[in-house]
Amino acid sequence: METKTMNIKIEKAKTSKIDKVDFDNLAFGNVFTDHMLVCDYKNGSWNIPEIIPYQPISLDPSAKIFHYGQSIFEGMKAYKDENNDIWLFRPLDNCKRLNISAKRMAIPEIPEDYFMEGLTALLKLEKDWIPQTPGSSLYIRPFIFASGTGFHASPADEYKFIIAFAPSGAYFSGKVKVLIEEKYSRSANGGVGYAKAGGNYAGQFYPTQLALEKGYNQVIWTDDNTHEFIEEAGAMNIFVRINDTLVTAPTSDRILDGITRKSILKIAKDEGIAVEERKITVSEIVEAAKNGSLKEMFGAGTAAVISPISAFGFRDVDYDLPEIGDNYASLLKKRITDIQYNRAEDKFGWRVKV
Amino acid sequence: METKTMNIKIEKAKTSKIDKVDFDNLAFGNVFTDHMLVCDYKNGSWNIPEIIPYQPISLDPSAKIFHYGQSIFEGMKAYKDENNDIWLFRPLDNCKRLNISAKRMAIPEIPEDYFMEGLTALLKLEKDWIPQTPGSSLYIRPFIFASGTGFHASPADEYKFIIAFAPSGAYFSGKVKVLIEEKYSRSANGGVGYAKAGGNYAGQFYPTQLALEKGYNQVIWTDDNTHEFIEEAGAMNIFVRINDTLVTAPTSDRILDGITRKSILKIAKDEGIAVEERKITVSEIVEAAKNGSLKEMFGAGTAAVISPISAFGFRDVDYDLPEIGDNYASLLKKRITDIQYNRAEDKFGWRVKV
Ligand SMILES: Cc1ncc(COP(=O)(O)O)c(C=O)c1O
Ligand SMILES: Cc1ncc(COP(=O)(O)O)c(C=O)c1O
């Protein structure tokens, strides 16, 4: 991908923080690089993005982000291969999804070239920050929020689009144990669940805390009406393997259309694995766990990659998943990460060189 | 109410903006007073609040408010009577509701004395900002948001509680025409609809814009499952008068427990009006509009006070409400504002002197 003619001004940081970072012991998303991309929406249009040193943002106390949660984001990663070439995975899909979120949250859409050229320019500047330690990568966080002011509950007239980078290690450390939730819900029919809107995440914190206190790592959400259908987890779509068939819930206006999810579906089909996108009931999973036909469960997402689930809890009973040698999770994880890190042929055309 | 012994530091603004404000032509929530109250949550506890000049807030780009919508707020008003005494209306109920919202959004609760004494101190300092023009008041906006940093989708470790004031005129100008919504939803069973969480408002902006384009002022939300039950509007609870009975939907985890709503219920009963808190179906309202038994509809909320609804739209048909002389909306509005502005006896003990 070539940086085109757009003139992205770069103001360089006076000093770099990179020497202070222990790249062998990265946590997730708490170390930030030296620069960020900033782009302001004012008077009805987006200004040309600029790159500036990573620095605090100053906002009026009445900025609508504080009051009305008008914010959206994306999560991506940049990967460095053995030749120090830098790769993105399906980045245009993130841009398109950001704009789907934007529309639902009454936020002006960001032009694709601002997103792609801004991201590329920032990546070139920060290339030394991309970790090469196995399992680590540069987590990319594009986000847009309402900076316009006023207490009237209506869309803001000004916004900020920012891209920031965090060299990161694994999202989950260790085994992932999930709780199937029946009381609290993540999203409504006709709501904003399919958008990566800030408020969707804050709404999950309290029920997730309750689950953590009981020894689980994540909540699996069910539909808010019957609580009988599996939807997704906090930051991952969910796959279950029943006998040799891989099943995942169809997307809807309550579920995020995950890029990892749809890539896994393609790769699995390519591997000759039987795949079903259909509604999954909780009782079906419990039954399958009891009769031994539930072979695997895993979460799929950019941050979590593919995270095998070791057990799920439902109505105070824990159901352990078997440890099987020939598992889909490892196979699919290897295939997707091999594409991401440029270790294998990219037969679907997903990889983009920076 | 006396300011107690809590030592709230006050840093005064060097100059006041008050002379620049046209108090006879106030809009809603776009002019702010000279000072604000700020209180930081750090290392597991809330610091003593401080009053400082109204000024921008500086935040790290990874502050969780930008990414995960972890924010809550309240809406209150201060009223000045003929003797220049200042009054609040059921302020402790706002504090309690803020803490109910806090719990659901995994935000630490604010101590009641920090809230009440902080608010009182700020009101005393800003008393000249309370408008006396009829229909105007000082709108009070307490809010809490996540200032702690990091891209991990989990609760922040730092928060800011702020109170800011905006001398304000009417929320709606003119007649209010509402659209009964069947496609989009405001909240889920088991969701965060009962909390004054930022994200609940941003989620309404897009469907509300669509309604505005069709000539309506607000959306009336229905349940996300059947879309058959009336819930509430964007910033008001909804009352309907069928023959001589006043009906409003019961509160639930999807509906904000409005302080105006519950006050209206009390006053109406006190007036001998038959009152029902029960589920209301859309078909019942349409039927009542057709057969003439639907006499009134109005919204009730702090910002909107009591806003009579002149018509509602449903499935591309508009239903006009009659203009009746002896209407409940005017009667109830007079009674509640007479209490708020200290023009009548406060038989329920709602008024609090600052
Ligand atoms: C709610 C939710 N579901 C699923 C996913 C997975 O989506 P993707 O594979 O595009 O990262 C994410 C985020 O990354 C998410 O936030
Ligand atoms: C969603 C919603 N419903 C109802 C109300 C009315 O509540 P109150 O009367 O406490 O102001 C408000 C806000 O003010 C609101 O935001």
Q: Is residue B43 packed enough to be buried (19+ CB in 10 Å), middle (13-18) or exposed (0-12)?
A: exposed
The pLDDT-based confidence of B173 (bands split at 50, 70, 90) is: confident
**CB atoms A32 and B145 under 8 Å:** no
Q: Provide the token pair at B254.
A: 């999807």
Q: Calculate the alpha carbon distances from B243 to A206, B57, B226, B230 in Å.
A: 43, 52, 26, 18
Give B303 or A5, the one with higher predicted confidence.
B303
Is pLDDT above 90 for B175?
no
| Interatomic CA distance for residues A291 and A327, integer angstroms | 18
Interface of B with A in 170-209 (CB under 8 A): 171, 183-192, 197-206, 208-209
Report whether B118 contacts B49 (CB < 8 A).
yes
What is the pLDDT, as a whole number, of residue B2? 47
Residue B336 pLDDT level (bands cut at 50, 70, 90): very high
Query: What is the β-pairing status of strands A176-180 and A218-222?
Result: parallel
Q: Strand, helix or coil at B256?
A: coil
**Ligand 1 centroid to residue A325 C-alpha, Å:** 27
Query: Mean of the pLDDT values across residues B44-72?
Result: 98
Domains of chain A as residue ranges with CATH: 2-168 (3.30.470.10), 176-339 (3.20.10.10)
Q: Which residues line ligand 1 (CB under 6 A)?
A: A 75, 196, 232, 235-237, 256, 258-261, 301-303
φ and ψ at residue A81, rounded to 5 degrees:
-95, -175
Per the listing, tokens 């060299």 go with: A167
More confident position, B123 or A172: B123
* CB-CB neighbours of B278 under 10 Å: 8
Tell me what the mean pLDDT of segment B6-27 comes to. 94
Pairing of strands A50-53, A9-10: parallel
> Cα–Cα distance between B35 and B21 in angstroms, integer?
15
3-state SS class at A311: strand
Position B250 scores a pLDDT of 97
Cα dihedral sign, A160-A166-A169-A174: negative
DSSP assignment of B170-181: -SS-S-EEEEE-
Q: For chain A, where are the alpha helices, taking DSSP H only?
A: 64-68, 91-104, 112-125, 198-213, 259-270, 282-291, 328-340
CB B235 near ligand 2, within 6 Å: yes
pTM of the complete model? 0.97
Q: Identify which ligand lies nearest to the alpha carbon of A221.
A: 1
- Please list every residue in chain B whose beta carbon sits closer than 8 Å to the beta carbon of residue A105: 202-203, 205-206
Best CA proximity match to B126, nearest among B50, B55, B32: B32
Q: What is the Cβ-side half-sphere exposure of residue A312, based on CA atoms within 13 angstroms?
A: 28
Quote the mean pLDDT of chain B: 96
User: How confident is the model at residue B245, as a pLDDT?
Assistant: 98
As a whole number of angstroms, the distance between CA B172 and CA B189 comes to 30
What's the confidence (pLDDT) of residue B3? 45
How much distance in Å is there from the Cα of A183 to the middle of ligand 1?
A: 22
**A173 contact partners, CB below 8 Å, separation of at least 6:** none
| pLDDT confidence band for B5 (50 / 70 / 90) | low
pLDDT at site A174: 76
What is the spatial distance between Cα A80 and Cα B67, in angstroms, rounded to a whole number?
26
pLDDT for residue A4:
52
B4 — pLDDT class (breaks 50, 70, 90) = low
pLDDT at residue B174 greater than cutoff 80: no
Task: Give the mutation candidate from B31, B36, B60, B67 for the A interface (greatest A CB count, under 10 A).
Answer: B67
What is residue A3's predicted lDDT score, i.e. its pLDDT? 45
The 8-class DSSP code of residue B139 comes to E
- Judged by DSSP in three states, B75 sits in coil
**Across B24-34, average pLDDT:** 95
Atom 12, ligand 2: residue with shortest CA distance: B235
Across residues B272-280, what is the average pLDDT?
Answer: 98
Reported as a single tens digit per residue, the pLDDT across B210-264 is 999 999 999 999 999 999 999 999 899 999 999 999 999 999 999 999 999 999 9
pLDDT of A178 reads 97
Which stretches of chain A score pLDDT less than 50?
1-3
Nearest CA in chain B to A146: B66
The closest CB to that of A69, out of B69, B103, B208, belongs to B69
The minimum CA-CA distance between A316 and chain B, rounded to whole Å, is: 19
- Taking the C-alpha atoms of residue B150 and residue B63, their distance in angstroms, rounded to an integer, is 7
